Structure 1
């Protein structure tokens, strides 16, 4: 499922995430954040705890997506915030 701001959300059948309301503090711990550049396709994992320490735990995922900058080419626009659900026992 894709949000109108090009943020890819969890696939149907999984725990849905509302990016406008979901913050780094309320995001379940079994989700891992990744960023992907639309221009050069560079992808990297994002340390949610480090981002929360810098910008506050109340930073919404929508606002985080707006702040993404590619480490490869420096692109700041239209980057993707990806959520990966870790397997749970």
Structure 2
């Protein structure tokens, strides 16, 4: 799946989100998006804002479970998508 800026929104090959993967251990060239499982609404998540509110030790798996859709209010079956920015 691609973002409107042609950023591929899927983990690259060999990169698996594990329970121990946190915001602190996620490389800076990754962008984090959320997609609603019900209505399909997609939004970019601000990593710094999440880290400021929840801490850098928040695992990506726990973050995915805390997502809430801004459009329909859905709290279940939401996806956390990772995109890798192009590096010069």
TM-score, normalising length from structure 2?
0.84
Pair 1:49-2:45 in alignment? no
TM-score, normalising length from structure 1?
0.83
Tell me by how many angstroms 1:21 deviates. 1.3
Contact 2:17 2:61 survives alignment (8 Å): no
CA distance in 2, matches of 1:11, 1:51: 23
Contact 1:23 1:57 survives alignment (8 Å): yes
Contact 2:12 2:84 survives alignment (8 Å): no
Tell me by how many angstroms 1:20 deviates. 0.9
| Bigger shift: residues 18-27 or 31-40 | 18-27
CA distance in 2, matches of 1:9, 1:44: 14
The alignment's C-alpha RMSD in Å is: 1.5
